Structure 1
Amino acid sequence: MKKRLFFNKYDDMKYISHLDLLRVMDRLLRRSGVPMKYSQGFHPRPKISLGNPISLGTEAFNEPMDIELRDDMTNEELLKKLNSKSVLGFEFVKVIDIDNKAASIADDYKEMRYEIIGDESSLKKLYNLLSQDEILLVKEKKGKVETKDIKPRIKFFEKKENMINLIIENMSPNSLFNICDIDVKDISIKRFCVEK
């Protein structure tokens, strides 16, 4: 039985890396007594699937995660069990049933909305970059320099006072911050899953 959970990760939990988040989930599911399905082989792992990684220091809301259960459990019971053993800065907000043939999280949730709050100078640099016709990302890979236009991945942006609202597809906003030389320590970033 497959379930899709939605969780919030905020306050100090925003400093948990993607790999550490998988470990946290594994421990939390075991502590909660959730009857998980495990992979086969020498090192069985619980069947957990997360979407695109959340950048370190980014608060995330309504983030999806898929799990496979060994035994049936109601969504309400699962939500209650998980939240009873959860830690400060981390909570589950919703559980839905999904079909075994359901698309992966990465396919279902390609777009993410970000709220970026910062000083006028940082936001102006970001807004000016987003307003360009082309946004070129230069990467060196195996001794070759690759240049890619990432502007098509910017689906929406607007500036309101000390905040930029941004919707991007399959990309971390960190690439944009690097291009326009914004230190992530100077801004606050919140990520919201855009549901279909």
Structure 2
Amino acid sequence: MKLRVKYAKMGSSRFLSHLELMKAMERAFRRARIPLAFSEGFNPHPKISYASALSVGIASEGEYLDIELSTEMDIEDFKIEVNKNLINSLEILDVKEIKIKVESLTAIVERAKYRAICLLEEDIKEEVLNEVVKRFLDQEEMIVTRKTKDKVKEINIKEGIFYVDAEIKDMNLFFKFIVVTGSKGNVRAGEVYDAFISFGNFKVKGRPNFIREALYALKDDALCTPMDILEG
């Protein structure tokens, strides 16, 4: 039996690395006595696969994993028992059985939607903000500097940004955007946020809170969730 699981990673769990998240999930599955299926070989491990890894410090309202069980289990029981054994800031939101042949999560997930929230030092008029959003998207290129372990390189992230919107509530800037993610490319949330704040010459207090709102696959060039893919 194979299941696709949607879960939230909020609160203190946003500071877990991807490896720590995997360990927390596996520990909860074991404590909940979930009948895990294991790989074969000298070092058997649970058959669990994850979608696009989330950077440390970013919360999420919709992450995904696929898990294979050794025996049949009621989906609602799975959700209830695992949630009982997860740390408070991790929560299973939805579970569906995988009844058709589908590609892996890493193969299908191509878009990520983020929300960044920051406190402004001074208010910005709505019409000014809207104009900045328009001009930001109209740029021919957006060059950012990306550091790796052994070098620094400049990257044009413009082609990897598909949607941008912003609004202000009580001096808080809510900045939303959809970017490429996964095996076909990856634009980082912080890169888009920093580019937008710099472009608009906005004055903000401290660093923003980042939340990944959703992960998407593409079906007939339209966005759909990994759960939608299971409908065939």
Fold agreement, TM-score > 0.5: yes
Partner of 1:155: 162
Cα displacement (A) at 1:149: 2.1
In structure 2, do the counterparts of structure 1 residues 30 and 137 end up closer, same or farther at CA, with 3 Å as the change threshold?
same
Cα displacement (A) at 1:140: 6.9
Give the 3-state SS of the residue equivalent to 1:119 in structure 2: strand
Cα displacement (A) at 1:106: 2.5
1:173 aligns with 2:194: no
Distance in 2 of aligned mates of 1:137 and 1:10 = 28
1:58 aligns with 2:65: no
Supply the AA of the counterpart residue of 2:214.
Answer: C
Select the structure of larger CA radius of gyration. 2
1:164 aligned residue (161, 168, 175):
175
Give the 3-state SS of the residue equivalent to 2:22 in structure 1: helix
TM-score (norm 2): 0.73
Aligned length: 195
Supply the AA of the counterpart residue of 1:118.
Answer: C
1:134 aligns with 2:141: yes
Q: Say whether the 8 Å CA contact 2:24–2:86 is kept in structure 1.
A: no
In structure 2, do the counterparts of structure 1 residues 177 and 158 end up closer, same or farther at CA, with 3 Å as the change threshold?
closer
Q: Say whether the 8 Å CA contact 1:109–1:193 is kept in structure 2.
A: no
Unaligned runs of 5+ in 2: 199-203, 217-223, 225-232
Q: Say whether the 8 Å CA contact 2:115–2:212 is kept in structure 1.
A: yes
Cα displacement (A) at 1:138: 4.4
Cα displacement (A) at 1:176: 3.3
Partner of 1:116: 116
Runs of 4+ in 1 over 4 A off after TM superposition: 126-131, 138-147, 177-183
Partner of 1:83: 83
Distance in 2 of aligned mates of 1:189 and 1:38 = 35
Q: Which stretch of the first structure deviates more once superposed, 156-165 or 137-146?
A: 137-146
Q: Say whether the 8 Å CA contact 2:79–2:92 is kept in structure 1.
A: yes
Deviations along 1:100-156, whole A, 9 cap, x unmatched? 6311213333111111001337x98x9676553211244577978754422111110
1:187 aligns with 2:208: yes
TM-score (norm 1): 0.85
Distance in 1 of aligned mates of 2:15 and 2:138 = 30
Partner of 1:11: 11
Distance in 2 of aligned mates of 1:140 and 1:6 = 31
Distance in 2 of aligned mates of 1:142 and 1:27 = 31
Give the 3-state SS of the residue equivalent to 2:25 in structure 1: helix
